[in-house]
Amino acid sequence: MHPAPESGSLEDRLARLRADIDAALDSAIGHARGRDRRLAEAMRYATIGGGKRFRALLVAAVSDLVGGSYAQALRVGAAIECVHAQSLVHDDLPCMDDDDLRRGRPTLHRKFDEATAVLAGDALLALAFEILADEPTHPDPAVRAQLVLALARAVGQDGLAGGQMMDLYPPAKPSAQDMFECESRKTGALIRFAVEAGTLLGPCSAEERARLLRFAENLGLVFQIRDDMLDSIGDAQVVGKALRKDEAAGRKGATTLLGIEGAARQASELENACQEALSPFGARATPLRDLARFAVSRMH
C-alpha span between 193 and 196 (Å, rounded) = 5
* pLDDT at residue 247 is higher than 70: no
pLDDT of amino acid 1 = 57
Which pTM value belongs to this model?
A: 0.89
Positive or negative: CA dihedral 254, 260, 265, 271 = positive
Rg (CA), the chain: 18
Residue by residue, DSSP assigns 53-113 as -HHHHHHHHHHHHTT--HHHHHHHHHHHHHHHHHHHHHHTSTTTT--SEETTEE-HHHHS-
Q: Which CATH number fits the domain that encloses residue 189?
A: 1.10.600.10
Range of the domain at 150: 10-297
pLDDT of amino acid 242 = 58
- How does pLDDT run across 64-84, given as a tens digit for each residue? 999 999 999 999 999 999 999
Residue 224 lies inside a defined structural domain of this protein: yes
* pLDDT at residue 241 is higher than 80: no
Mean pLDDT of the chain, nearest integer: 88
Give the percent of the chain with pLDDT over 70.
Answer: 89
Residue 5 lies inside a defined structural domain of this protein: no
Residue 1 lies inside a defined structural domain of this protein: no
- How does pLDDT run across 105-126, given as a tens digit for each residue? 999 999 999 999 999 999 999 9
Residue 158 lies inside a defined structural domain of this protein: yes
Number of domains in the chain: 1
**Across 91-95, 196-200, 250-254, least confident range:** 250-254
pLDDT of amino acid 237 = 59
Task: Identify which has the larger pLDDT, 210 or 7.
Answer: 210
Residue 286 lies inside a defined structural domain of this protein: yes
pLDDT of amino acid 233 = 74
Residue 204 lies inside a defined structural domain of this protein: yes
Residue 97 lies inside a defined structural domain of this protein: yes
- How does pLDDT run across 35-72, given as a tens digit for each residue? 789 999 999 999 997 788 899 999 999 999 999 999 99
- How does pLDDT run across 169-193, given as a tens digit for each residue? 888 888 878 877 888 888 889 999 9
* pLDDT at residue 2 is higher than 60: no
* pLDDT at residue 235 is higher than 70: no
**List of E strands, 77-234:** 101-102, 105-106
- How does pLDDT run across 124-144, given as a tens digit for each residue? 999 999 999 999 999 999 999
Residue 14 lies inside a defined structural domain of this protein: yes
By C-alpha distance, which of 6, 58, 24 is closest to 198? 58
pLDDT of amino acid 260 = 85
Coil, helix or strand at residue 7: coil
Residues making up the chain, counted from first to last: 300
